Structure formats: C-alpha cells, structure tokens
Amino acid sequence: MHQIIEFIRQTFNTQDFIPLHEPRFIGNEKKYLNDCIDTTYVSSVGKYVDEFESQIAHYIGSKYAVATVNGTSALHIALKLANVSQGDEVITQPLTFIATCNAISYCQASPVFVDVDIDTLGMSPHALEQFLEKHCQRINNQCHNRTTGKIIKACVPMHTFGHPCRIEEIKTICDDWYITVIEDAAESLGSYYKGRHTGTFGKLGTLSFNGNKIITSGGGGAIVTDDEALAKKAKHLTTTAKIPHPYEYVHDETGYNYRLPNINAALLVAQLENLENFLRSKRELARIYSSYFANTEIQFIKEPQSSSSNYWLQAVMLKDEKQRNEFLEYTNKNGVMTRPIWRLMNKLEMYKNCQCSDLKNSKYLEERVVNIPSSVRI
C-alpha cells in the first residue's frame, strides 16, 4: 500500500493532500466572467448561454442542446419529454449515481434495475433483453410489464466513469420494445462508442458539468437531441414554461426554473476551449496507471472494446471486499483521496422495493471497484 501511495504522489508531484478530482481553470474563465459582470448579464439571459449551447451541440455531434442548472434537472426534463409520468416504469442500472433514480422519482415513476457488464460497468444488453423477454409483452406499441402491470416508458443507461456502455445494442433492443432511450452521459463528455459521441444514440441525452466533472461551471447540465420539437419543448419547460413576450408574464403549463445562468455558461465556454487538453491529460494518466498496476495484483479498469473513454474517474478493481476496504482506509488516512463505487440503488431505502433482474455483476463490482485520484495533470 505504501508503494501505491508514493507512486500516486510522484505522479501528481505533490506531498500534499491529493483530492479525487478537482477542476482546472487555466484559460479564459476570469476574462469571460468579468465580461458577464461588466455587462450585468449574469442570470439566465446572455450571449454565453447561447454560445455554449451551440458549441456543446457541435462538439458531441447533436443538432440541439439546451443548457440546464445541473445534470439531474436535465435528466428530469428529458424523462418528461419521453412522456414518463405517474405510475410508469423506467429501466436503468443499479450501479449509478443517485441522480439517475431521483430524476425518475421526480416524474412519480419507478425505476426497474437490470444488471451491468463487468467490462463496461454499464447496462448489459444481454441482461436487458433477458428481462424484457421474461417479464414484458408488447401491447399497442407499448411495453407492458406483466409482473407489475405497469408500462415501461423509457430506458436510462449510464456511461459509468466515462466508459461507454454497449449503447448501440441497447438502443436496438429498446426500439424493438417501444421503449425510449435516454442516455445518462453525465460522466462521459469526450467519450465515443464506435466513433460516435455518447449521448447521441438515444432520442435524448443528458450531460453534467458539476464541480467534479471534466469541464465544470460549478454546476450545470444539458439536454441534447436531434429532434427540433423536443429541443424547443425542453427550452420552454426549463424556462418556467413562459410564453415569449416583451413584458407579459404568461405561462401555459407547469414549468421549471432550470435554465443555466449566463455567468455559469461563461465558465463553460472557457472550459470547452481546454477540453481537448484535459482529455489528453486524462488518457495519459490512464496510461501511467495502467502500466503501474499491471505489475500488481490490483486491476486497472481500461476503456471497453470499440470505445474511446474520457477516463473521467480512474478506477481499479480489488480482489475482494476486504482488500477494497483496506485500500480505502489506508489511502484516505494517508492523504490520498479514494472512494468506493456507489452503493447499489436497489439497496437504498427508497428503491429497495423496485423490481430487479439478477444483479450478480453489479454486486461483484460494488464489492471491488475503487476510484483513485483522477485530476487533470498540468
């Protein structure tokens, strides 16, 4: 363990505390923030919001992007755009951040959990297809869950730590079952599956720019889609459903105050200018880690086949839960921040009664996976 600590310190060239992931502001952030302050456009109206939406859509290869205050709000609205409502069900994976399931709950719908693949850490197409064949039937172009009697409206796979799941196969299966795919690409900006950016395979995709993401504005998120009508609806719902007018306040449905402020968008425009540098640093760090851990009993988690990962959070796999706990305790006590993968969603109190497939891979990973320092190295 001591050797690992010293290696990580050497890699980051510091004897100080090493966080899991910290942002880097090395470009035009202050310049663009000052511009916002000087013009007084610091709220949800301003040139940087429009500029960021245009730039992020172009970067990932989507026709439209709608900026939001965070990734959770983006996912909430995306689910509403997929007509997920009270009493519906949404298939997702148990190995994910809580926001995925919370957004489903905001729609008064219920998550259904299917297993992940060991190599991608993301939803398994095989597990998804097995679940649908066993529990569901197609009635009037809808997917009916025979076990619960409810309609499965959407499927939300997540690209864990920036490693793309087998999203193309998942989309094919869901299309066959009349299920709308919404990609939770919160962690995978700069990641590609078969040469195509994550978040662009589903009808809708969502991104996050939280403080620990590869680019950040402290918060922030985005909905991406190729559907013009959905993009317009997303912008309407995220701006309190206000009908455009020079001075009247008229709202035509229940909306949400989810629009990204201009001052945050200014940060993101500046961060985007350095994204390629950040990605190069991430992949170089992954190469260094991979080379080091190849000579140990600890497995470094590499990008899956047919993928190019942003390596947002670097991760290792320990041999069992006991070794994982020892690793976590030793590193954190010695000033190197590490953390376990998330507690499985079906183990949390509010989701413990949700329907699940066999989750053997998810349980295996939960007991063994640890994130290690992943910040961009300057």
Which one of 240, 274, 308 terminates a domain? 274
Together in a domain, 171 and 245? yes
In a domain, 177, yes or no: yes
Together in a domain, 268 and 280? no
CATH number at residue 221: 3.40.640.10
Together in a domain, 71 and 152? yes
Are 179 and 210 in contact, with CB atoms under 8 Å apart?
no
Together in a domain, 164 and 308? no
Q: How far apart are CA 101 and CA 198, in angstroms?
A: 20
Q: How far apart are CA 258 and CA 164, in angstroms?
A: 27
In a domain, 16, yes or no: yes
The residue assigned the tokens 């891979």 is 361
In a domain, 350, yes or no: no
Together in a domain, 193 and 320? no
Sheet of 369-372, strands arranged across: 299-300, 314-317, 369-372, 339-340
Together in a domain, 227 and 178? yes
For the stretch 115-134, pLDDT in tens is 999 999 999 999 999 999 99
In a domain, 231, yes or no: yes
CATH number at residue 324: 3.90.1150
Together in a domain, 94 and 231? yes
In 3D, which of 159, 91, 167 has the Cα closest to residue 128?
91
Together in a domain, 193 and 316? no
Together in a domain, 195 and 234? yes
Domains in the chain, number = 2
Which one of 227, 255, 274 terminates a domain? 274
**Three-state DSSP state, 335:** coil
The residue assigned the tokens 């949700």 is 354
In a domain, 205, yes or no: yes
Residue 358: which residues within 8 A CB-CB, separation 6 or more?
115, 127
Vertex 75: Cα angle to 102 and 111 (nearest 5) = 45
- Ranges of residues in the chain with a pLDDT under 70 are none
In a domain, 376, yes or no: no
pTM score: 0.96
Together in a domain, 246 and 184? yes
Buried b (16+ CB within 10 A) or exposed e, 164-175: bbbbeebbebbe
Angle between helices 228-238 and 71-81 (to 10 degrees): 120
Question: 333: which strand partners?
Answer: none
- What domain range includes position 199? 29-274
Together in a domain, 126 and 164? yes
β-bridge pairing 221-225 and 204-208: antiparallel
Q: How far apart are CA 30 and CA 333, in angstroms?
A: 35
In a domain, 378, yes or no: no
Which one of 274, 300, 329 terminates a domain? 274
Instruction: Identify the pLDDT of residue 378.
Output: 76
In a domain, 314, yes or no: yes
The residue assigned the tokens 């195509």 is 196
How many other CB atoms are there within 10 angstroms of residue 45's CB atom?
A: 12
| Token pair for 282 | 């991430």
Together in a domain, 192 and 303? no
Alpha-carbon 238 to chain mean position:
19
Q: How far apart are CA 101 and CA 242, in angstroms?
A: 28
Q: How far apart are CA 346 and CA 242, in angstroms?
A: 38
Instruction: Identify the pLDDT of residue 1.
Output: 87
